[in-house]
């Protein structure tokens, strides 16, 4: 005797139960690897420190690329692993996120390098131009990476956008580290390991509140705007978010200059007032150094808090994935 339709293996209820099992299994995997990012960071940090120490003791310049790559990629890769530890679904596989990190990061860096060399020149608005170009290139790279996804939900966009941004930041940091290594000294060029280490430490500390944060925000807003579309849609809301993120990026890059201007407006010496009226921006005096550092790092902290609160609001208000059955599920034949 044939069983009723609701008892068959191909029924909606059976798909739901297998989906629930898949979700429980995924949750178990997430719990098992909840601290993978911390282990990765600790191991990478130890390897980086060991590379610095061995290079300093032996003078072996062949190890310098190891220092540059480990120091530049450690925090960005750890951050992407942290995102994957805290959010997994059927669409964003580790392979897809790695692809976004590498390909999206490279596309963004190449595009930004070309446009900045063509369009930018020294001036008061140079940092605004940098923000618009770099955020635009990362957004375009994200659109290309996400073009053929089967669905678009906000949290997928946050994770994929963060991957593109952190890839961009890692490559950019490696360039800054390499440039800090080379120091002109008269008619010769010397390699400065302390400058390299200091640059990588600073860039590593600031990496979580840099490119990954801004592109994660844009990714969430882009995917939210595209949730009922077959491809990513750049709506007016996405453009507005892009302009605001670019402005925050510009403030971040120019914060040293802003802090210097504020310091000298508040506590300028007679000589500094003369320099300011002639269009020059003299460095802070030893007595002004504390105020200058407070304004600079305080400004960076405010921008970071704004970015994190914005991203948190996007994440918490995100639409949830639809209840797709697990991809490996196969309808079972009805029992005879």
Burial (CB count <10 Å: 0-12, 13-18, 19+), residue 211:
buried
Cβ atoms 136, 211 nearer than 8 A: no
Q: What is the pLDDT of residues 54-108, one digit of tens each?
A: 999 999 999 999 999 999 999 999 999 888 877 777 788 888 999 999 999 999 9
Strands (E), the chain: 182-185, 188-191
Q: Is residue 181 one of the residues assigned to a domain? A: yes
What pTM was computed for the model? 0.82
The dihedral sign for the CA sequence 256, 261, 266, 268: positive
Is the predicted pLDDT of residue 223 greater than 50, yes or no?
yes
pLDDT at 99: 94
Q: Is residue 314 one of the residues assigned to a domain? A: no
Q: Is residue 329 one of the residues assigned to a domain? A: no
Is the predicted pLDDT of residue 13 greater than 70, yes or no?
no
Indicate the pairing of strand 188-191 with strand 182-185.
Answer: antiparallel
Q: Is residue 321 one of the residues assigned to a domain? A: no
Q: Is residue 165 one of the residues assigned to a domain? A: yes
Number of domains in the chain: 1
Q: What is the pLDDT of residues 284-314, one digit of tens each?
A: 888 899 999 999 999 999 999 999 999 999 9
Q: Is residue 115 one of the residues assigned to a domain? A: yes
């Amino acid at each position: 005797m044939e069983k009723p339709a609701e008892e068959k293996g191909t029924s909606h209820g059976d798909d739901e139960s297998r989906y629930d099992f898949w979700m429980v299994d995924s949750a178990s995997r997430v719990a098992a690897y909840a601290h993978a990012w911390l282990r990765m960071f600790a191991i990478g940090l130890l390897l980086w420190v060991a590379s610095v120490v061995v290079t300093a003791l032996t003078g072996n310049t062949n190890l310098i690329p190891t220092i540059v790559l480990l120091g530049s990629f450690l925090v960005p890769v750890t951050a992407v692993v942290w995102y994957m530890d805290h959010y997994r679904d059927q669409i964003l596989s580790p392979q897809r996120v790695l692809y976004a990190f590498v390909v999206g990061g490279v596309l963004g860096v190449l595009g930004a390098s070309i446009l900045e060399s063509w369009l930018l020149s020294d001036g008061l608005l140079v940092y605004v131009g940098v923000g618009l170009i770099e955020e635009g290139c990362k957004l375009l790279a994200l659109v290309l990476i996400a073009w053929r996804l089967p669905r678009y939900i906000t949290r997928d966009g946050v994770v994929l956008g963060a991957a593109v941004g952190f890839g961009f930041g890692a490559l950019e940091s490696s360039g800054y580290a390499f440039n800090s290594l080379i120091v002109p000294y008269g008619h010769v060029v010397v390699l400065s390991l302390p400058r390299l280490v200091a640059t990588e430490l600073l860039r590593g500390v600031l990496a979580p509140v840099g490119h990954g944060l801004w592109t994660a925000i844009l990714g969430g807003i882009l995917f939210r705007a595209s949730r009922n579309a077959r491809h990513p849609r750049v709506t007016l809301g996405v453009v507005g978010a892009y302009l605001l993120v670019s402005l925050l990026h510009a403030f971040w890059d120019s914060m040293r200059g802003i802090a210097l201007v504020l310091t000298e407006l508040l506590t300028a010496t007679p000589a500094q007032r003369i320099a300011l009226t002639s269009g020059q921006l003299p460095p802070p005096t030893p007595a002004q150094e504390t105020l200058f550092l407070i304004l600079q790092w305080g400004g960076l902290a405010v921008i970071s808090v704004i970015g994190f609160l914005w991203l948190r609001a996007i994440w918490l208000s995100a639409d949830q994935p639809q209840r797709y059955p697990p991809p490996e599920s196969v309808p079972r034949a009805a029992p005879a």
